Amino acid sequence: MGKRVLLVDDDEKLRRLLKEYLEGYEFQVFTLADGEAVLKSIKKESPEIVILDIMLPKKDGLEVLKEIRAVSRVPVIMLTAKGEEADRVVGLELGADDYLPKPFSPRELLARMKAVLRRLDPGVKPTTAESEELRVEAGNLVLDKARQILLMGGKEVSLSSTEYRVLRVLMENPNRVLSRDQIMTLAQGKDFMAFDRSIDVHISKLRAKLESDPRSPKRIKTIWGSGYMFVHST
């Protein structure tokens, strides 16, 4: 069976169109017309990706996204008729993996979905000889690349999939200044369709989770005019 997709949109015509289109590419598509039952559906259907409209009745998509991120790291692509930067930034701050403004073609959505799923595919499991490369340690931080999780002081830190990839790039390049473009390319690959300030948003979220004082970061430093640097003191 194909990968499972949860599609949440109040537009019945659009739901039907996207469901038929995606099923033609062997996806299993579950649909909802509002955000009330999203968490229940995620628990029941275990989707591998969620397509979530921001403008929903009863409960808006941003509120639903926040609830999802409290319990799951499932990748989420946001759909919205709004094009303002503020809406994009809020979605990214809450942990969205991508953002697609309406109107869009089903083909474009499919391309975005494939790109997100491809980036999250753990691929072939490593041999024992390669296993040491699957842990990146820096002080009390341990990035477990096999399980795609971060431990801080032995306790797991909840990260969105994009936050994880950005942090992985930084930790794999300690004490090296990386530009925003370099981070985006290394974290997301050529398929990444970036939004203005998106890297800044993810860095801000990471600092809030990793720094004792996010306003005066010690781990992830801003190098003005150049980019960011992950500081690994020896």
CA separation for the pair 79, 127 (Å, rounded) = 40
CA separation for the pair 221, 174 (Å, rounded) = 11
Mean pLDDT of 130-134: 52
Instruction: Quote the tokens at residue 52.
Output: 């979530």
Count of domains in the chain? 2
Mean pLDDT of 91-107: 83
CA separation for the pair 165, 183 (Å, rounded) = 9
Least confident of 76-90, 169-183, 185-199, 215-229: 185-199
132 lies in the same domain as 114? no
Of the ranges 5-14, 94-103, 106-115, 164-173, the best mean pLDDT one: 5-14
170 lies in the same domain as 102? no
* pLDDT interval class at 126 (50, 70, 90): very low
33 lies in the same domain as 105? yes
85 lies in the same domain as 152? no
Question: What are 165-191's pLDDT values in tens digits?
Answer: 889 889 988 999 998 888 877 776 544
DSSP 216: S
Residue with tokens 């781990």: 219
Q: What is the biggest distance separating any 2 CA atoms in the chain, rounded to whole angstroms? A: 58
Mean pLDDT of 104-129: 71
